[in-house]
Chain A
């Protein structure tokens, strides 16, 4: 029997992987994917809670998050392409014009 706790643990693991990915990876595209993982962890939690509590709000929230994630990805890739045109890199370590 799979209970809500299982989903919560899975969500926590996904969020953790995402956070570690954001903090350690250098490739901007991979960082974006890691952020998507955190958002999906949130979705998983919401849907699991919505089922457990019989509350539709959680599912509605998840749909909103999915839509927002799409908007975020498109804006982010747009910015990345603009940067790539001026400086051919997707490595966060080489994006170093602005510091201190």
Chain B
């Protein structure tokens, strides 16, 4: 007789339970305490959210110990915790930790110090947990929506700011549209397989003729929705707007957390149920990856807004990551994992520096245009130097971590005979260097504008900067443990 809630279920659910309960409590805190008392307890609320993350880290560690390389399936196959899921969950944890650390000062400057902010970050991470572990269409869809809904609110968190409103609305409309398409695709996949488990869908796809219109439409619509979520060209329109208008810490969280979670889902989807149809989707992914690299890199050159520039560069990074999936061999998948890990810390670091540019002195809207970073080296040499490290890593130059991610992706492309693709991808690195170095030039050669803000730093920001910079350098110089971690994570 099957138990309703087994020990395995409990172990699999623990991190999500921790995130959801801390998230809900923090979400309601301001409502229960009243605005004035909540404002007085701001530091406690920050402490509470960090405690939530600590508890989550502990539960993840517990899972890691219990798992020992095996796969834990819970809730009769709706959730499966494996190395792959844990790997991504550590990334989500790092992303929300850094985000929370930067947010405190930023919200103070913007005058939007609601407790809900932290609650929504934890709830978004809870959604990500289910995206990485879910092996059932319903679990995946609910997790996706939990994450996305939290992000819609977070992007529009600066209510008095028109840019933030607009960004939230655009992100919302396109995000909900893609979710609706995904639901439609899922409904057709359910019809084909007669089950919502990914495992059963994989079996059904293998035994079915691909020319079955229901299956074909279901797969196509689902794939489009997945590409929307990772902001790959031609479904990337929302990303620059959402990144630019959102509060900078949210941009950081959105560009790494949401992207990593969507990639986790995409990988699981393309490798498990769609693994049998490799020949059908590979050319499409090649096209999408090349388009993403082209459009992302070329559009980034002309940008005058820092966050928009990073948004376009992140679109091109999505293209690189997809190339690892195109290659599809062991090295390629390891490359994808390493790339996502490295990209997380590097992009968080770069956006952290952008967030630090914002201070009370400027008193303007959220326009982090390139002039704001001009002459940064004179104003704050440490931030400028670390920004150079992050930009080098984003471009993929050794000895930074970014090199490692790109190296593995390119290596896998050559191993599988996609030499032309590898050459194209390398050429785009040169393009990327051009605009990244534009920023470096501004920082070191440019004159600080009259109205230029001072760097707004805080303990949290310095800690976050330390974490991201250390990760970027350490992974680059001493990659073995991280490579092994990525390798173990992909063993099934």
Using a CB–CB distance below 8 Å, which chain A residues touch chain B?
A: 8, 11-12, 15, 18-19, 22, 28, 31-32, 35, 38-39, 41-43, 45-46, 48-49, 52-53, 55, 57-58, 60-61, 64-65, 68, 71-72, 75-76, 78-80, 82-83, 85-87, 92, 95, 97-100
Q: For A79, list chain B residues within 8 Å (CB).
A: 152-153, 156, 165, 168-169, 172
In the complex, what distance in Å separates the CA atom of A35 from the CA atom of B168? 17
Does B191 interact with chain A (Cβ within 8 Å)? yes
Does B474 interact with chain A (Cβ within 8 Å)? no
Interchain CB contact under 8 A, A76 and B187 = no
Which one of B97-105, B173-181, B340-348 is at the A interface? B173-181
In the complex, what distance in Å separates the CA atom of A43 from the CA atom of B188? 10
Q: Which of these, B165, B241, B302, contacts A83 with CB under 8 Å?
A: B165
Interchain CB contact under 8 A, B153 and A75 = yes
Interchain CB contact under 8 A, B180 and A39 = yes
Chain A to chain B contacts (Cβ below 8 Å), 21 pairs: A22-B177, A35-B173, A35-B180, A38-B183, A39-B180, A41-B184, A41-B187, A49-B187, A58-B187, A61-B137, A71-B149, A75-B149, A75-B172, A76-B176, A79-B152, A79-B153, A82-B156, A82-B168, A92-B173, A97-B162, A98-B167
Does B194 interact with chain A (Cβ within 8 Å)? yes
Q: For A19, list chain B residues within 8 Å (CB).
A: 181
B436 to chain A, nearest CB (A): 20
In the complex, what distance in Å separates the CA atom of A92 from the CA atom of B174? 12
7 closest cross-chain pairs (CB), A and B: A45-B187, A38-B180, A49-B191, A83-B165, A42-B183, A42-B187, A98-B241
Interchain CB contact under 8 A, B214 and A8 = yes
In the complex, what distance in Å separates the CA atom of A100 from the CA atom of B312? 10
Does B278 interact with chain A (Cβ within 8 Å)? no
Most A-side CB within 10 Å, residue of B137, B153, B168, B176: B176
Q: A68-B145, A82-B156 are in contact. Are A45 and B165 (CB under 8 A)?
A: no
Q: For B153, list chain A residues within 8 Å (CB).
A: 75, 78-79
A39 to chain B, nearest CB (A): 5
Interchain CB contact under 8 A, A57 and B138 = yes
B410 to chain A, nearest CB (A): 31
In the complex, what distance in Å separates the CA atom of A60 from the CA atom of B136? 12
Q: For A11, list chain B residues within 8 Å (CB).
A: 184, 187
Interchain CB contact under 8 A, B214 and A35 = no
Does B141 interact with chain A (Cβ within 8 Å)? yes
Most B-side CB within 10 Å, residue of A22, A31, A97: A97
Q: A55-B195, A83-B169 are in contact. Are A65 and B183 (CB under 8 A)?
A: yes
Interchain CB contact under 8 A, B138 and A28 = no
B258 to chain A, nearest CB (A): 16
Interchain CB contact under 8 A, A46 and B145 = no
Q: A57-B195, A61-B187, A98-B244 are in contact. Are A38 and B181 (CB under 8 A)?
A: yes
With both beta carbons as reference points, the residue of chain A lying nearest to B299 in the complex is identified as A100
Interchain CB contact under 8 A, B180 and A86 = no
In the complex, what distance in Å separates the CA atom of A37 from the CA atom of B194? 24
Q: For B184, list chain A residues within 8 Å (CB).
A: 11, 15, 38-39, 41-42, 45
Interchain CB contact under 8 A, B141 and A95 = no
Interchain CB contact under 8 A, A86 and B162 = yes
Q: Which of these, A45, A60, A87, contacts B191 with CB under 8 Å?
A: A45
In the complex, what distance in Å separates the CA atom of A12 from the CA atom of B216? 13
Interchain CB contact under 8 A, B191 and A64 = no
B455 to chain A, nearest CB (A): 26
Q: For B449, list chain A residues within 8 Å (CB).
A: none
In the complex, what distance in Å separates the CA atom of A39 from the CA atom of B165? 25
Interchain CB contact under 8 A, B145 and A31 = no
Q: For A42, list chain B residues within 8 Å (CB).
A: 180, 183-184, 186-187
Which residues 344-390 of B sit at the A interface, judged by CB distance below 8 A? none
Does B170 interact with chain A (Cβ within 8 Å)? yes
Does B52 interact with chain A (Cβ within 8 Å)? no
Q: Mark B432-445, 1 if CB is under 8 A from A, else 0.
A: 00000000000000
Interchain CB contact under 8 A, B149 and A72 = yes
In the complex, what distance in Å separates the CA atom of A31 from the CA atom of B175? 12
Which residues 185-200 of B sit at the A interface, judged by CB distance below 8 A? 186-188, 190-191, 194-196
A34 to chain B, nearest CB (A): 8
Does B142 interact with chain A (Cβ within 8 Å)? yes
Interchain CB contact under 8 A, A60 and B138 = yes
Does B166 interact with chain A (Cβ within 8 Å)? yes
Q: Mark B197-222, 1 if CB is under 8 A from A, else 0.
A: 00000000000000000100100000
With both beta carbons as reference points, the residue of chain B lying nearest to A90 in the complex is identified as B169
A22 to chain B, nearest CB (A): 5
Does B160 interact with chain A (Cβ within 8 Å)? yes
Which residues 261-289 of B sit at the A interface, judged by CB distance below 8 A? none
Does B319 interact with chain A (Cβ within 8 Å)? no
